[in-house]
Amino acid sequence: MKRSELEKYLGQQVTVTLFDGDKITGELYKYPDDIRYDRNYYTCRSGRSGNILQFRCSHVTKIIMASIS
């Protein structure tokens, strides 16, 4: 997926499908440019605590707005 398309969804509740079939639902964020993280990585934050999966825009095959229930 192109970075410009993915970044349209920053800060919104989405469901992201990755190239290996994993689906992640949460609020889409981009990691800042600092020494702790490589730049151009994204994550979806949910209200639950747990492991945070980082991914690049090239890993995303599909993104849709998440339904809030």
Read off the CATH number of the domain in which 11 is found. Answer: 2.30.30.100
Confidence tier at 14 by pLDDT (50, 70, 90): very high
Q: Which domain holds residue 7?
A: 3-65
pLDDT above 90: percentage of residues in the chain? 36
d(CA 53, CA 35): 18
Count of domains observed in the chain: 1
- How far apart are alpha carbons 40 and 30 in whole angstroms? 7
* Mean pLDDT for all residues in the chain: 82
Which pLDDT does position 16 carry in this prediction?
92
Please state the rounded mean pLDDT for residues 44-60.
78
Per this entry, what is the length of the chain? 69
Token output for 40: 């151009």
pLDDT band, very low/low/confident/very high, at 15 (cuts 50, 70, 90): very high
- For residues 15 and 24, the answer to whether their CB atoms sit within 8 Å is yes
Would you state the torsion angle of the CA atoms of residues 54, 57, 59, 62, taken in this order, to the nearest 10 degrees? Answer: 110
pLDDT at 67: 72
